[in-house]
A = this chain, B = another copy of it.
Amino acid sequence: MKHNFGAGPGILPHEVLKQAAAGVLDLNGIGLSILEISHRSAEFEAILDEAVKLVKELLEVPEGYSVLFLQGGASTQFALAPYNLLPEGGKAAYLETGVWANKAMKEAKFFGEVQVVASSKESNFTYIPKDFVIPADAAYFHITSNNTIYGTQSQSFPKSPVPVVCDMSSDIFSRKINVADFGLIYAGAQKNMGPAGTTLVIVKDDILGKSGRKIPAMFNYQVQIEGGSMYNTPPCFAIYVSMLTLNWLKSKGGVAAIEAENIAKAKVLYGEIDRNPLFKGVCAVEDRSHMNVCFVMENPEHEKPFLKLAEEKGIVGIKGHRSVGGFRASIYNALPITSVYVLIDAMQEFAEKNK
């Protein structure tokens, strides 16, 4: 048995995989695969409707917001956010918390001025800057809620005089959020929502149509809203599996219930990192992510043999990103706490052998 701590595309619930495989062979007994039916068929329209309904229900999306399933990942949204929201000659404010925030800024510069309100770059992004002022003349303020590479996560969101745009790719559906605090939320599916291949966008309708830009159809949120995410053929299978995953989340008790589980998983794993003399965390304790737990070893020479031991126990995907090194254990929604205990056992066993 594998314990999948991969950073993404990440672990999906076993029940969902079984349902998805069945749908590839024969969707709900219709005699056709989910891969070969029209997106305009009653069957697929019901899937998309259900997926949108589940997003609204699980995140308690208020009136006045639209929910879209698009393509191209968060990297495409890095460009679409300014394309739709930033007027010619306008300015957008960004919080620089890592590589993904950087990439989002880089794309925004194609469309206007980028003002960095604060950055933790000088410390290789080991913390989330907290003292900053969001300029009231910015078109929006952009933040990355969870920084997969560094293992930091915003535990709260600032009050903002302008719409908040948030990249929630790696922690959406992992904890309760107040959607009304945001103008635009986007997230690649491949952590907690489903497989790679679709991108969730939740946008407040009344922030659109103000930039004065002429925007090609596929890049225009308004066009996608009017088309109900079907201006063109959507990524049907990725949406199908997202629907199944969100349905699984609902059956588990929803976001509040999974948040409690995620906190429990993070607590035991960080507890072991802090307790075990061979290991140490890499970022500010108050900004520790409940999704990506990054740690290194006091003696870097221990890292290779520890990785080997972990692999022997079926633990996969814990190698840290090259820019941080060490280890990164991603403990997304679908990862059971039993897998976390397997990792902790490996850490304890290794410490015992290397006293």
Which A residues are within 8 Å of any B CB, using their own CB?
Answer: 1-2, 4, 6-12, 17-18, 20-22, 24-25, 30-33, 35-39, 71-76, 78-79, 103, 106-107, 110, 188, 190, 194-198, 214-219, 231-238, 241, 314, 316-317
Contacts and interface: CB of A to CB of B under 8 A. Distances in A.
Given A17-B24, A35-B9, A35-B12, A196 B234 contact: yes
Interface of A, helix, strand, loop or mixed by DSSP: loop
A65 to B, nearest CB: 23
23 contacts: A4-B32, A8-B38, A8-B233, A9-B233, A17-B33, A17-B35, A32-B316, A35-B195, A35-B241, A39-B196, A71-B76, A72-B76, A73-B233, A79-B216, A79-B219, A103-B217, A107-B216, A107-B218, A188-B233, A196-B233, A196-B234, A197-B238, A235-B235
B2 A218 contact: no
A150 to B, nearest CB: 18
Nearest to A24: B21
Number of copies: 2
Contacts of A24: 17, 20-21, 24
Q: Which of A107, A214, A235 has the most CB of B within 10 A?
A: A235
